Structure 1
Amino acid sequence: MSERPPKIPESVLVVIHTPALDVLLIERADAPGFWQSVTGSKDDAFETLMQTCLREVAEETGIVIGSPAVPIAALRDWQLANVYEIYPRWRHRYASGVTHNTEHVFGLAVPRDITLRLNPREHVQHAWLPWREAADRCFSPSNAEAVLQLPRFA
């Protein structure tokens, strides 16, 4: 079995929300109790941040950006980036010596009744929460801060 290549330390964070500012959070399968927005690293150096968003949202939630229910214009680059120290429990996924990640923040407006299909290898359950409550539930400080920015960008 071949070994996976190291993760690229550049990722996206996509705050999925309704027009009423309810936020979708998903619970990690590998860390029970860790709730977050959709997040994921670029697959390769040539993948754009927009492509990463499209792929990660589809993989983690089943939501297809660019579909009739969720047009491409529903995805907005908030022009925010966070640089943070990678949690030690996940550093083994990166090249030796990599300790920090740059995370680019996006927002995605969706209808409240959108159908979700979680990837069970990544996430075990989801919750729609009012934005302040969602921020309180996020395990990651940068994710919580992004959710708190939602009224400014929505």
Structure 2
Amino acid sequence: MPNNPSGGLGHVPVAVYSCAAASTALSEGEERGRYYADARHWHVAGVWSDSDPARPLMERPGWQAVTAALSAGMIRGVVVGGPTHVGSDAAQFAALGVLLRDRGGFLADASNRTTGRRTPGQVRRRRDIADAASGWFAQTDRHDEGGS
């Protein structure tokens, strides 16, 4: 069931989630997630964190609150400070993204890391597709010089 944004284009409610043992890593993950959401004009509806990355994701209280907010329609997506906050490798992160998408949401990585196997153009295209799927559209810098 898709969640509809409450304020239309640009007002996409998201959760920022982080999980790390060190408090500085938690704050950095939160800051990175908030910055990522703000840059896309997404509304940060809540910030949750857990301090035990060794605990399975589905047993973490903060993550349970995030999934409850998604199920209740309070948020449309989850922004994480990095893939390691929710999974041990890229495959787990991708699988979680599919799970959230099946529930009508999306998962966004705010770390800006790219893999060496993708070109910058491919990374940008994937980011544009994810932004469009979440309801955020980038402004273009091109102007029609002949039009009025």
Q: Tell me, yes or no, whether TM beats 0.5.
A: no
Higher strand share: 1
Give 1 or 2 for the bigger CA radius of gyration.
2
Query: What is the TM-score of this pair, normalised by structure 1?
Result: 0.28
Which of structures 1 and 2 has the larger relative contact order (alpha carbons within 8 angstroms, sep 6+)? Answer: 1
- Which protein has the bigger helix share? 2
Give the TM-score taking structure 2 as reference length.
0.29
